[in-house]
Amino acid sequence: MADRFFSTWATLIRLTLLVSVWIWQLPETVFGGSSNSLMDITPNGLYLIVANTDSDSISLVDVKKNQTIKEIHVGKRPEGISWVGNGPEALVTLYNEDAIALVNTEKGSLKKLTGLIEPYGIICLRDGKTAYVSLDYPGKIAEIDLENWRVKRNLSAGEWCRGLALNADESRLYVTNFYSGTLTALDRVSGRVVDTWPGRIDENLSRHVLIHPKREKAYLSLLRSRTEVFDVAGSLLPYLTICDLWDSKKKPGETRRRSIKLDSYQGTYVVAEPWETAMTSDGKWFFGIHAATGDMFVSQVVDDDYRELDRQGRAIYLGKIPRAVRVSPDNQTLYVYTALDFAVQVYRISDMEHQKTISVCKAPEDAKWVRGNFLFHSANRPMTSRRWIACSSCHPGGLPDHRIWHNPEGYRKTPSLAGLAHTHPLHWSADRDEVQDFEYTIRGKLMGGRGLAPQITLKPRTEFRSPSELDQHLSGKSEDLDALAIYTNSFTPRLSPHIPAPGRLSEKAQLGKSIFFREDVGCVKCHSGPYYSDSSLKKPFHLHDVGTGNDPDEKMEPKYDTPTLLGVYRSAPYLHNGKAKTLMDVLTTCNPKDEHGKTSHLSQKEKEMLVEFLRSLPYENPPDETPNTVPFRRKTAKTALRR
């Protein structure tokens, strides 16, 4: 009783303090919702809202009772969420629907705004009248007028926009480039780019940015893809990059970007896939979560422009694949969304004591797919014993990492995994015929894991010759390996944003299509069928030498499996070694002898039409079943693709 009495007084005093800070120092107060996340808390601290990416739903949590009130179905692949003021309305991005939704969490009703391509993060101004959405491809920030429910402006902020944050007085908008970690600042009123902090060449997968409530600092969670290294302990490294936000003209030549290496932050304790960060509103405590190892570092913020952070205690294990972290407005409580536990973990900040696990949503139906989803995103045993690398570190959400890796067999571009179930065999050189063969990757030099089927002795790989992975059938031998295959085979392509409407091509693309199918051009000899590939599991495989394999580093035969052309609008650079920077290069500079279809006799106009057709793929839904479709994939009702 006495405790409660004091805590009530303490709360009152704190509230008074808060209010006076609010009145006197408005620009210094922070606002929950000022950076993109899968979770948000109302400024009054009463309600938490969570976007459940894999369940197509959002969940409303009563913070006082630590209880989920309801789960609301919203649409495909929510990737970001923000309260509008103190609610009851919340905004959510629907990545796979190219839409955002305004959800009334009291009534459970929602309305959608479509035509926003690949919307990822979303944040809302304090007045609840304007919101900003980061559009991943090709990279824009949409400014949404919430009163009239329309896009007011589309702002340019570089390519691949994901991370999104506002500074305390809402005068500036900060945006991260997913594939480079470049940070861009926009003046919110003019909508113009006013500053940039370029990422290092190897910085990658930067999906979140946090702004210090009082100091000129931005914190980016990211990793480095070191493509010249093929090693469990060197290919992918976890980093926190801190940008100084002062104007570069103030101190010319001085670096405004420094990084903290997170795999040596606590001795030899390794973490993987830094995902998101949060800070208390007094700017004292800092929390960084790592999705692939499932843990978190708690640090004190050091105001020295050098050390920046001082780790407190050891890493805390949170649960399966944590993807969001938020501090309550009173700085007492920390919430972490452990996405593949489908739960929110509650911690008391004063001693970091775990208070509760709140279950927020039902797991998706297909349990094997859920298991595979976890394995794909995990850098813990048995996937790897060294904790640096998960499959998702190079295949984020099934998308490519936009990197060309120097693999033992030569340079290899990471392909998109969309449509994989229909385009086996696997790898550019078709040296694998089932996803279960990735047991070789798991146990090999890259991941160094025990494996998912440790009872099976793998045949040693005959170096770059007849591919031995093909000889041994691993499917049906381990539930986990099958689960990984089911998840990996379940990515579907999305309709190209470069078409006028689903099922339709622009006039130029239509002309390009007829060129593509012309006998004298010959594309369709290999890029045939609804997936635009003659890949087939019937042996011998259809491999083709199209004059692209003359790299001195190439260790395999210069013959490749025909890649699908669905989704090439977003997967530059092209070819197995990424030598073609654009689709036009595929047809011209990379095809000097007409070995890759005949293109030299085409006029410039015709080539441009052909490129326009390629950019428009897919313009219609490819079938869910072909003679080459593998059985290991997600069981769901067939759903149409949306754009």
Site residues, ligand HEC (CB under 6 A): 235, 389, 391, 393-395, 405, 407, 412, 414-415, 417, 420, 426-429, 435, 438, 441-442, 446, 484, 488, 516, 521-523, 525-527, 544, 546, 548, 560, 562-563, 565, 568, 571, 574-576, 583, 586-587, 596-597, 599, 610, 614
490: left (phi over 0), alpha (psi -120 to 50) or beta: alpha
**Minimum distance from residue 563 beta carbon to ligand HEC (Å):** 4
Q: Which residue has the tokens 């606002």?
A: 31
Q: Shortest CA distance to 123 belongs to which of 106, 100, 147?
A: 100
* Burial degree of 152 (CB within 10 A; 0-12, 13-18, 19+): middle
Q: Which residue has the tokens 């969670």?
A: 221
Structure tokens at 440: 């070789």
**Minimum distance from residue 143 beta carbon to ligand HEC (Å):** 34
**Minimum distance from residue 278 beta carbon to ligand HEC (Å):** 27
Is the CB of residue 98 less than 8 Å from the CB of residue 642?
yes
**Minimum distance from residue 634 beta carbon to ligand HEC (Å):** 15
Nearer to ligand HEC, 214 or 427 (CB): 427
Nearer to ligand HEC, 129 or 518 (CB): 518
**Minimum distance from residue 535 beta carbon to ligand HEC (Å):** 9
Nearer to ligand HEC, 50 or 430 (CB): 430
Nearer to ligand HEC, 162 or 427 (CB): 427
**Minimum distance from residue 389 beta carbon to ligand HEC (Å):** 5
Q: Which residue has the tokens 């793998």?
A: 458
Nearer to ligand HEC, 584 or 641 (CB): 584
Nearer to ligand HEC, 257 or 527 (CB): 527
* Burial degree of 423 (CB within 10 A; 0-12, 13-18, 19+): buried
Pairwise CA distance, residues 604 & 512, whole Å: 12
**Minimum distance from residue 534 beta carbon to ligand HEC (Å):** 8
Structure tokens at 190: 């003019």
**Residue 515: CA atoms inside 13 Å, Cβ hemisphere, count?**
25
Pairwise CA distance, residues 179 & 254, whole Å: 25
**Minimum distance from residue 590 beta carbon to ligand HEC (Å):** 8
For residue 633, the one-letter residue type is R
Pairwise CA distance, residues 403 & 401, whole Å: 5
Pairwise CA distance, residues 290 & 550, whole Å: 40
Nearer to ligand HEC, 497 or 573 (CB): 573
**Minimum distance from residue 221 beta carbon to ligand HEC (Å):** 18
Nearer to ligand HEC, 172 or 527 (CB): 527
Nearer to ligand HEC, 508 or 642 (CB): 508
Pairwise CA distance, residues 223 & 202, whole Å: 8
- 540: cis peptide before it, omega within 30°? yes
**Minimum distance from residue 575 beta carbon to ligand HEC (Å):** 4
**Minimum distance from residue 560 beta carbon to ligand HEC (Å):** 4
Nearer to ligand HEC, 256 or 427 (CB): 427
For residue 14, the one-letter residue type is R
Structure tokens at 486: 């089911």
**Minimum distance from residue 595 beta carbon to ligand HEC (Å):** 8
**Minimum distance from residue 536 beta carbon to ligand HEC (Å):** 13
Nearer to ligand HEC, 75 or 396 (CB): 396
Nearer to ligand HEC, 57 or 441 (CB): 441
* Burial degree of 506 (CB within 10 A; 0-12, 13-18, 19+): middle
Pairwise CA distance, residues 141 & 145, whole Å: 13
Is the CB of residue 103 less than 8 Å from the CB of residue 52?
no
Q: Shortest CA distance to 59 belongs to which of 337, 456, 393?
A: 337
Nearer to ligand HEC, 180 or 599 (CB): 599
566: left (phi over 0), alpha (psi -120 to 50) or beta: beta
Is the CB of residue 499 less than 8 Å from the CB of residue 616?
yes
Q: Shortest CA distance to 90 belongs to which of 54, 56, 48, 118?
A: 48
Tally Cβ neighbours within 10 Å of residue 448.
Answer: 18
